[in-house]
């Protein structure tokens, strides 16, 4: 099931997923960086977060966070719990995010992937994203995908 984030019930699990799955991949952030950990809930408030759950009232097993900046959908976090990979949660969450972008007149999706996160690079390439740049100081690749306008969407 895909639904909007519920801050009171979801945020602790979402922060835990970021700490255990994203931060260890980051060249610029450390797992015990208190400032960075404290900023994560603030980041959730700035954009849109969809979560995937196994049941209607179950805890999040995956999530995507993104913002619309001008005509660009900027995806900054997509995480699936390791035990729930392979069930298409990431693909479904990205479809929801892209549909949101289309509904908000975005022309392109942009995201950054850490150099060592080859699993994510492969995932996004399968979804049609292209690598457009490498940022050496961040050790990240920028990926982009055009968003074709759509008159009907099953994900919004």
The per-residue pLDDT for 148 is: 84
What pTM did the predictor assign?
0.88
pLDDT of residue 130: 98
Which conformational region is residue 18 in: left (phi greater than 0), alpha (psi within -120 to 50 degrees), or beta? alpha
Quick one: pLDDT at residue 33?
A: 63
| The predicted structure's pLDDT at residue 44 | 87
- The tens-digit pLDDT sequence of the chain (156 residues) is 999 999 889 999 999 999 888 887 776 665 556 566 677 888 888 999 999 999 988 899 999 999 999 999 999 999 999 999 999 999 999 999 999 999 999 999 999 999 999 999 999 999 999 999 999 999 999 999 999 876 554 454
CATH of 2-146, one of 3.40.50.150, 3.40.630.30, 3.40.50.300, 3.30.420.40: 3.40.630.30
Neighbour order of strands in the sheet with 108-114: 2-4, 48-53, 60-69, 72-80, 108-114, 140-146, 130-135
Q: What pLDDT is stored for residue 26 in this prediction?
A: 78
């Amino acid at each position: 099931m895909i639904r909007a984030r519920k801050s009171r019930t979801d945020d602790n699990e979402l922060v835990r997923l970021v700490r255990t799955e994203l931060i260890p991949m980051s060249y610029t952030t450390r797992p015990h960086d208190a400032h960075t950990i404290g900023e994560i809930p603030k980041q959730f408030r700035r954009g849109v977060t969809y979560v995937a759950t196994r049941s209607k009232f179950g805890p999040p097993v995956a999530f995507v966070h993104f913002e619309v900046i001008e005509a660009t959908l900027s995806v900054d976090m997509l995480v699936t719990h390791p035990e729930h990979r392979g069930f298409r949660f990431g693909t479904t969450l990205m479809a929801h995010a892209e549909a949101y972008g289309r509904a908000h007149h975005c022309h392109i999706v942009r995201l950054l992937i850490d150099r060592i996160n080859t699993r994510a690079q492969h995932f996004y390439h399968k979804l049609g994203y292209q690598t457009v740049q490498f940022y050496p100081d961040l050790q990240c690749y920028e990926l982009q995908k055009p968003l074709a306008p759509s008159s009907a969407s099953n994900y919004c």
